[in-house]
Structures are given as structure tokens and as C-alpha cells.
Amino acid sequence: MSGNTNSNNQNSEVHSQIMWNRLISIVEEQALTLVRTAFSTSVREAGDLSAGVFDREGRLVAQAVTGTPGHVNTMAAAVGHFINDIGPERIYSGDVYITNDPWKGTGHLHDITVTTPVFTGETLIGFFASTAHVVDVGGRGYGPEATEIYEEGIRIPIMKWAERGKLNTDLVNIIRNNVREADQVVGDIHGLAASNETGRRRLVAMLDEFEMDGLDDLAEFIFDRTRKATFKALEGVKKGSYKNVMRVDGYDHPLDLVVDLAVSDDGMHADFTGTSPISKFGINVPIVYAQAYFTYGMLVALAPELPNNYASLLPFTVSAPPGVILNATEPDPVSVRHVIGHFVTDLCLGAIAQALPERIPAEGAGALWNFQASARSADLADPRPPVEVLMFNSGGSGARPEIDGLTATAFPSGVMTMSAEATEQVGPIVIWRKEIRPDSGGDGEFRGGLGQVIELGPIDGYQFEFSAMFDRVDHPAKGREGGKDGAAGKVYLDDGTPFPTKGVEIVAAGRRIILELPGGGGFGDPADRDPAARENDQVQGYVS
């Protein structure tokens, strides 16, 4: 009876929606387990991690929303590499796979990706994968100083961390002997495996409850829905080719990032031809990472409500000739690829702004202002080991077409900072000031987000080896549609001596270093700014 069929269809629609939601809650649970068990502050405080479930062909079905657009496509592509490199015939129940290969994972050695196959009975039905930024991978440590990948630390090819439930103790031993904080790194890898295991158990229980024999039908429903919604969102963009150029500081000389963005019926393609060549230092970007920040920028502008999966990512493709800084290849150093990679979002948003002027914000601070300080006793005979202090900090984001930019807030990265009190509890550091930087947002009808001023130094009797990785010191964030540029960043010692913005330098005992983080660009003609908003800026001290 037609009435019955209609009612069955209606029920199956509701049923599939419920299962999709359940799958998303499973990957959120997977991510949460990782946060709870992680050691590195980058994962547990800042949220630098990702987690997702894949079908048996390695296609991303659902992903947890975490602080890292950089993992969006990179991890989505990774599971395909795992299937190829392990070999389908060697995938067994109880296996766990691992890699930190920058080109098959997420762009640098510090990110470890762990993948776990899911079986029901003898049948492979899918995978869980998760990625975390670990505290150390050996080599020269976290920073741009290495000139080849081989100096940057241990590289783990795609291999088995466990086979049929049995841990690969040889691999554990090799890792333990090659990293500085072995307990924490190995602890984090166990955390990754535990989070996948949580996902696996929940998925098996869900299949049981809904009497499903695999993920294929549900994956098709999800891909079909997402594909339609993605292309619907793309319909609003005028077909054509849009170009943009952004100049940034680079390590030792300025770099141009260039994009030619083609919008067609098939989707969007970003070509980075014309971008500056690779650097001698570790700020180079594997193209998977550039693709992640491109795709993130387009999705956030066009289809913010779409969950990430294979179908939402498929229409966004990239290309670049080998040898440009957005297509680093082995053995280029890539340790701090985020410093350049984070600019790809603003670069591509700047291109698409020509098609969608009313939707795209001005440029912002872009790259996070991360630093690692290795604090050691000023008395060189002191035998105590140095203490590593890592902090993530954010400048201002670009003004939006109808709202001011965000003050001291990460974009495009979504990570968080660490508390000053908590940081002072773990290392011999004093943070003397961490405050809004007035006058740093670009003027406009809508003002750019403000940067911040951070003043810090070692406690008495200590000195820092301070690893800087800061950009937008010579090239501030540009305004849009008549908005003014944001303020450039500054780095100097308390006596006014300029301090290098990339690389390692000593902050001597008793001294302080001052970081003035860049602000975001303004949007629209400053003459059009609402007088009330201008007055409020004065009253609050956002503008002096």
C-alpha cells in the first residue's frame, strides 16, 4: 500500500538521522577520551587533536569538532594511506596502526596518527583514527631551526603499533630511546589507541542495537545528504577564477603566497603556482596541510553547518608545483609548518572575497604566536635538567562584514591558550603581563580584533633558550573594503633591544621579553563607523 510505503520512508528518514547523530556522538566521545588521557598541554589544554570514524574503504564518515582545522583533510586522507601501506590482507582484528609521516599524516613529525580497524565477527567494517600533537619527537625539538626532516626527529612510517592485540614492544622501545619525554609521548600514543578503542566498542554496540551489519548504508545516506548540501552551498558562488597574493615575513626574507582559485560546477580548486620557493628552515608546508586550511576556509565561509566527512571535503582540491613553500617534499624541514600554513585560510578567503564581498572578513593575525622556552639554571654547573614551557597565544582576527574582529582569539586555528597561573606552576617562568593591546585593530566601519601584549621572563636564577616562531612583524594583516591594516607584531627585550622573531635566542637571567601580538585588519570605510562604537572604543580603552 502506498500509504504504508510512505510511512516506512518517513520512519527510515527519522531513523537515519538518529543514527547519524549517534555516530557524531561516538566520535565526540572518542575525542574526549583522548583529552582525558593526554599528557601534552597542546592536546589537553589547547585541544590540538582530532578523531574520526571511517568506512572500510577509508572514507571519513564522521569527525569530532576539535581545535584543529589542520587535521581536517589531512586525517581524512590518512586512513587511505594506512590501508595501502599495511595491505588489506594484513589487516586483522585487534590491530592498531601508527605513523607520524608528515606527508601521509598531518604535516609534521609532532603529530602522531593512530588508526584502529573495526571488525564485526570476521568482517572488516571500518576504522577509527585519531591524531595528537605530542610533546616531543627528538631531533632539534619544536622549532624552525632544522634544515632537513632528518634533523627534526624520529619518523615512524605507517606500521603496526599492535597486531591482533599484541603490542609491538620493539617499536615502543625505539620511540622511548629517541624522544626527550618518553613517558609522556608513549603515554599519549596509548591515549590515542584508547580513544580509538572507545569508539570501536561504541560502534559495535550501536550496530547491534540498530541491527545493522555494517556502516555502508549509513555512510551512503550521510554522503548523499552532505553532497547535496555542499553543492547547494556552492551554487551561491559565481563561477570563475579568483586570484590573491599575500606577503608574509618568512624566516629570513619575505615570502609571497599566491593562489588562483577556480570555481566550477565540480567544486573549488586552489592552485598555488607563483608562491615563493621553499625555505631552508622548517616553516615549509606539505600540501596536505595547505589543503586542510584551504578547505576549512571555504567550508566556514560557505557551509558552516555541514559536518565534516568525505563528501563535504571532496569538492575542494589543490595543486602546486613541487618546490614552492606550500608543497614541501622530502627532505624539506616542516616542523613549524603552521606558521605559514595558517595563512592559507586568509589567502584563500581573500580570493573568494571577490565573489562574496559581503561574507568574507579582513585578514587577521593568522598564525598563532607559539613559543617554547627551555628554562635552565643560569649557573651552568647546576645539574638540574631544563624545563620545557610551551605556550600558545593569539593576536586579533579580521573584522567581519558586520561585526568587529575578535580580540586575542585564534583564527583559523581553533586552539586555546594556557592559564598563566598553571604555566607558572609547571616551569620557572613569570608571566608579568598578558593584556589587550590597545590601538592594534585596523580601523574601519568594523574594527579589526585587538592583539595582546605579553611580558615574560625566567624566575630568579634561571635563563631561557627561547624558541620564537612569530610572523606578521613586517607584514601586518590587511584591511578589506577600505578598512585599515591591523598593527604589526613586535618582539623586544625589556631594554628595548629587538629580539629575533624566528629561531632560538637566549633570554638572560633577570631579563624580560615583550611580545606585542598583531591585530586584525578593519572592514569597510572608517568614516562609516558607528559613532557609538567609536565612543565605546574610547571609553573601554580599546583605542587610546
Partner 1 sequence: MSTDSSTTNGLRIGADVGGTFTDVVFQRPDGTFESSKVLTTHGAPEEGILNGILTLAEEHNLNLADVEQIIHGTTLATNALIERRGAKTALVTTEGFRDVIETRTEGRFEQYDLNIVLPTPLIERKDRYVVTERFNARGEVLIPFDEAGAQKLIDHIAAEGYEAVAVGFLHSYRNPDHERLFRDMLLATAPDIAVSISSEVSPQMREFERFNTVAANAYVQPLMATYLHRLAAELEERGATCPLYLIHSGGGLIDVETAASFPVRLVESGPAGGAIFAAEIAARHGRDRMLSYDMGGTTAKIALIEDYTPQTARTFEVARTTRFKKGSGMPISIPVIEMIEIGAGGGSIASIDALGQIRIGPHSAGSEPGPAAYDLGGEAPTVTDANVELGRLHPSTFGATNINLSPERAAAALVKDVGEPLGLNVHTAAVGVAEVVDENMTNAARVHAVENGKDLAEFSMIAFGGGAPLHATRLMDKLGLAELFVPTGAGVGSAIGFLMAPFAYEAVRSFYTTSEDFDIAGAANVLDELTAEAEHFVRAGTDAPVTVERVVAMRYRGQGWEIPVPVPPGPFDSVAADSLTTAFIKAYETFFGRAIDDLAIEAVSWSVRVASVTNRPPALQSVEASAVAAASSSRSIYDPVLGEMTETAIIERDELVVGSAVNGPAIIVESQTTTVLGSHHVAVVQNDLTLLITRSAS
Q: Which of residues 39-78 bind partner 1 (CB under 8 A)?
A: 39-41, 44-47, 65-67, 69
521, 484 contact by CB (below 8 A) = yes
Which strands, in side-by-side order, build the sheet including 255-264? 240-248, 255-264, 267-271, 316-319
How many residues form the binding site for partner 1 (CB under 8 A)?
A: 88
Q: Compute the least distance from the CB of residue 455 to partner 1, in Å.
A: 7
Could you say which residues in the range 442-481 bind partner 1, by CB under 8 A?
A: 452, 455, 459
Q: Compute the least distance from the CB of residue 181 to partner 1, in Å.
A: 8
Q: H/E element holding 352?
A: helix 343-352
419 binding partner 1? (CB under 8 A): yes
166 binding partner 1? (CB under 8 A): no
Cα separation, 222 vs 245, whole angstroms: 36
Distances (CA, A) of 81 to 43, 348, 542: 24, 27, 49
- The nearer residue to partner 1, 25 or 317, going by C-beta atoms, is 25
407 binding partner 1? (CB under 8 A): yes
Half-sphere exposure of 130 (CA within 13 A, CB side): 36
Q: For residues 403-421, b (16+ Cβ closer than 10 Å) or e, as one string?
A: ebbbbbbbbbbbbebbebe
- The nearer residue to partner 1, 154 or 430, going by C-beta atoms, is 430
Binding mask 179-218 for partner 1 (x = CB under 8 A): --x-xx--x--x---x---x----------x---------
DSSP string, 384-428: PPPEEEEE----PPPPPSSSPPPTT--SS-------HHHHHHHSS
532 binding partner 1? (CB under 8 A): no
Three-class DSSP category at 184: helix
DSSP string, 446-492: BPPPP-EEEEEEEPTTEEEEEEEE---SSSPPPPBTTPPPPPPPEEE
Binding mask 374-393 for partner 1 (x = CB under 8 A): ------------------xx
Among 301, 336, 347, 399, binds partner 1 (CB under 8 A): 301
408 binding partner 1? (CB under 8 A): yes
425 binding partner 1? (CB under 8 A): yes
How many Cβ atoms from other residues are within 10 Å of residue 482's Cβ? 15
Cα separation, 305 vs 495, whole angstroms: 49
- Of 17-25, 213-221, 476-484, 496-504, the window that binds partner 1 (rule: CB under 8 A) is 17-25
Could you say which residues in the range 215-254 bind partner 1, by CB under 8 A?
A: 225-226, 229
Could you say which residues in the range 77-116 bind partner 1, by CB under 8 A?
A: none
Q: Compute the least distance from the CB of residue 70 to partner 1, in Å.
A: 12
Q: Compute the least distance from the CB of residue 290 to partner 1, in Å.
A: 19
305 binding partner 1? (CB under 8 A): yes
Q: Compute the least distance from the CB of residue 386 to partner 1, in Å.
A: 15
Three-class DSSP category at 225: helix
Among 12, 18, 176, 266, binds partner 1 (CB under 8 A): 18
- Of 236-244, 287-295, 329-337, 422-430, the window that binds partner 1 (rule: CB under 8 A) is 422-430
Cα separation, 450 vs 440, whole angstroms: 5
Q: Compute the least distance from the CB of residue 85 to partner 1, in Å.
A: 28
Q: Compute the least distance from the CB of residue 35 to partner 1, in Å.
A: 7
Look up residue 504 and give its three cell numbers: 632560538
Q: Compute the least distance from the CB of residue 326 to partner 1, in Å.
A: 22
Cα separation, 453 vs 436, whole angstroms: 6
Cα separation, 512 vs 492, whole angstroms: 9
